[in-house]
Structure 1
Amino acid sequence: MKRILIFFFIILTSFEGIYCQDHLDSIYEKAKQYRRANKLDSAEILYLQITSSKNKHQPSKLLKANALNSLGLLYLSKGEQKKALESYYNSIKISIEINNKSGLVNTYNNLANYYLADNKKIALEYYRKAIDLLSSLEEYKKNAVINMNIGLLYSSNDFEMMNYDSAVYYYLNALESFQATNDSSNLSLLYNNLGFLYEKKENYSASIENYNKSINLKSELEDLHGLATSRLNLGNVYLKQNRFKESLEQYEKSLELSESIGDSNLKMHLYSNMVKAKMGIGAVEEASLLFQKYNNLRDSLFDQDKMEEIKDLETRYETARKEEEIRAQRIAIERENFQKKLFLSLSILLVILMLSTIWFFIQKQKYLKQLKNEEIANMRTEQELKELNAMMHGQEEERNRIASDLHDRLGARLSSIKLLFQSSDIPAAADKVLQNINEAIKETREISHNLSTDLLSRFGLETALKDTIRTINEAEKIKADLSIYGLQNRLSVDIERNIYHIILELINNTIKHAKANLINLQISQSENEINVFYEDDGVGFDVQNVADSGMGMRSIYARVNTINGAVYFNSKPGGGINVVLSIPVESNYQPKEDENAQSKLA
């Protein structure tokens, strides 16, 4: 009888263990569902039930390692980095103990993604650990995801070990794994990224081939945004090869897609690049119209971003206010239920005290705000007076320097000319008079050049150009118009000086040779590029015959090359001149294929 009871006890214990393990597995699946639904607090409670050491029925080590890995992802979503790292390292410890290679791959990948923002070298180490483990596993999707992540890392501009060849190598590895799993979505992304890398390496034929593959897959997937981006990228390659018509064909298709999906940022970049392509085929009027569309869209996007920022702040404020109200109501209800009869009078007194405190606090804040505003106003007035005094002092110094130059240099030269005229031998002194007049003209130019260069270095490109245009208009020989968009901050000295002298050279050519009545100058700055659009209505010239013959043109090309820019001339006899100048001020624009560039493995 005793043996029978022991036998039944063992059987019941075994069934209980199986039941408990199944129960914990169901809790794990439920926690994953909560995390996907962004119910992070509920998911955290369930994960902690599995990983807690106080749990009566301990889960399997495999389940615990997986739960800790998922808990790390959850803590990162909540911004609790320290808890996330602790969960990841505990998961790694258990996975190493039970030789859970697949789980280690997931955790190493997630750790790498965590370190991407702050320490890319450590991120690369964890990616390589995951790759080493995958060599003994047949998990093609994980292998593809991690190879793709390493490729993205090597192609990052802010990575000190950036290497396009290494990026291509890992992308090709990922490509083989995605092909093995027929993952068309990720294949289309990889082909686009490979096209970008080959473009950077100036292997344009390979770049075009990969962009076309990406376009074909995205067409099959009906991925309109990705299709528009790949067509923009393909158009950029054609533009670099001066294949203007082919680039325009891709830009127009991308523009149609961007309008259908409502992507205004993409449209803005398309307009900017289409201006260059239109100038390349000589369609000046269309280029001018697209340039205006670009400026209008950029201004509207700036206003739209500001409105969205304000709405976001208002939404966050309202959400916080409502949460605070709910929390206060819950506390008030709990207190009321707990002490409803015994402390009713005390509660009323407390409410009155709270209201009085709030009223006093509000009044105090208003008073402090008023004092702060008065203090700020006083500080602003003092600062303005300091700036005015500094400006007046600088102007006085400048006047003294100009007076000194005129007296010491030009005055002396004119006095010598006067003495020569008073000489008895006028014919013999004629050559000396002419020589002194030429020297006086030369010194006048040097004084004028010093003034304009000083204005540029002290007050910037915009002020110097406005002064130049004002001088032209005051002469009443040619009407000059100047429009400036987005030029809010000073540029580097080298860029400002070269742009200024290029524009002076163009204006000088117009005044000397063009017989023009109107000059139109537009300057626009986007996030990574300065665009200058110059035109006049003069007699024009044959660009092919003049391009390499004049010192002025060679000077313009030399200055453009110095600042890594590009210039496009369009003119013909009797048709005036149109010039488009593009100067990069930051890294080239690279459209984002996917906001979640780094893939996670749960």
Structure 2
Amino acid sequence: MKIPVTILEENKGISHQEIHKSVTKGRSVLYTALFVIFGRNIILLKNHILILLLSISLFACKDKISSPVSTKDIDFDKGESLIYKNNDSAFIYFNRVATGNKDSLRVAMSYNYMAIIQSDAGDYFGAQESLMLSLKFLNESKKSDYSCLASNYNELGATNNNLRNYDLALNYFKKAMQFTTNDFFKLVISNNMALSYQKSKRYNQAIQIYQQIISLENNNKTEYARILSNISKTKWLQNPNYNAAPYLLKALNIRKNENDEWGQNASYAHLSDYYSKKQPDSALLYALKMYYIAQKLKSPDDQLEALQKLIKLSPPNATKQYFETYQQLADSVQTARNAAKNQFALIRYETEKSKADNLKLQKENTEKKYEIATREFLLAAGFILFIAVSIIAMLWYRKRKQKIESEAKTAIRESQLKTSKKVHDVVANGLYRVMSEMENQEHINKDSVLDRIEDLYEKSRDISYEEPLRSNQPFHEKIAELLKSFATENTHIAIAGNAAELWEKINPNVQYEVEHILQELMVNMKKHSAASKVAVRFEQKENQINIFYTDNGLGMKASTTFNNGLRNTGNRISGIGGAINFDTKAEKGLKIQLSFPLS
């Protein structure tokens, strides 16, 4: 299995093309290429070296998707074939795959490729954006995505290291470690973490990791020279008095014997830095050697670094020449990278515009089809709606007719009940009251009785009249007369609390209902209770009027069925927002409590 590798060191590696050819030959050749790439470890990470090493990670993703994804993806294959020949064209093809392919792993890998191309051009923020997009298409719970996940997180660490966000870089490297089981890639990630620690001047952690790596060294001389150079450089950075020269020179000799030109380039940079203060002449010599070999390797970043050292270490008469060369080369590199950044943005814009145009055409075609379908649907729906409306109208008419008939019957029934209630309240109870007075009075005033009967006659003629008849008599006097009219030689009526002030705030309609409620209670007492003592007490408590009725008669059983009179009493008290409570548990007699709010 091919392994995603992004070696984050200040190494001067072999070219992208050579790495690609080496990796595709197999695992053993990949290891050899990687060992060649590992080099020195200085503070400033160079742009093209980072991206050079980032490219190796892509082959792991490719290996992962080769099985489930068809190899007939023309755009993806073209992108791969051009990535080391024409990065702009490769970016175009990968961008097509990323924005148009339905296979999530293939899309993730395309964004990974695009990030490498952007990083190679110095567009680190653009690379981060592409890597984040790649992560969106990967699932951390799917093992088939682990290799690309590890690659993406490792590359995010590399990019943040290049942007000097070392703590964030370390977090990404730790994340990458979670998604790889390959021992060699774990060593690579460990090496990258060591570099982050070194750059953030946490030298103890860096040295500890390098020592772990060298303990696993497998007798490869090039690899041994790299680790030896890294440890020596870090120890010297930690302690300027540390004698790193023997180890740095030993690493250089190994690289010369192995014909490792990129490694020699790294060693010259390390030695020039080491001797810059102790032996400036030696530092200048190593800087010159670095510049010559960087020219041979055609590495502009290494040339720029070497020129920086030469400007600092050379005599004044040579400094001007090196500075002019540095300025020309730096301007050229920066111009090329700015152009590349703009080109990437333009490619993405054109791709999105083309995609938007296609979507617009698709939308227009869809709208036309929709219009045709809509017309057909409306015709069919109109016909169905007409039938449905006709059926609904017929059913509604039938239901409406039934409702009107039902309401008419209900209105007649309610009118009959209301009439029956008024006959009961006005005529029946009025006649009973007259009969009661006649029965209990020795001397009957014939004229008075006739007047009362005539009054009942007039009321019965207008029995359907809605408004209650008003009287100028004070209400407390009317209540007193009503209650006392039921008193006999055998029945004593006691009244308490029936003061004029009690009824001042009571609405006349409520007074009317209260009068008939009390009349109904007294009629029922007279007919059924056989009571000798009756007490009616009135009180106002806060915003409520309470009426307590008590007698010593036969009482009322809990199972008693209320007749029309008592049902009317309950309806009346409910109508004025009040309540009635019958105490059927009294040992003797009956207790009733009426309550209603002040109106």
TM-score computed with the length of structure 1 as normaliser: 0.35
Determine which structure has greater relative contact order: mean sequence separation of CA pairs < 8 Å that are 6+ residues apart, divided by chain length: 2
Q: Which has the larger radius of gyration?
A: 2
Task: Give 1 or 2: higher helix fraction.
Answer: 1
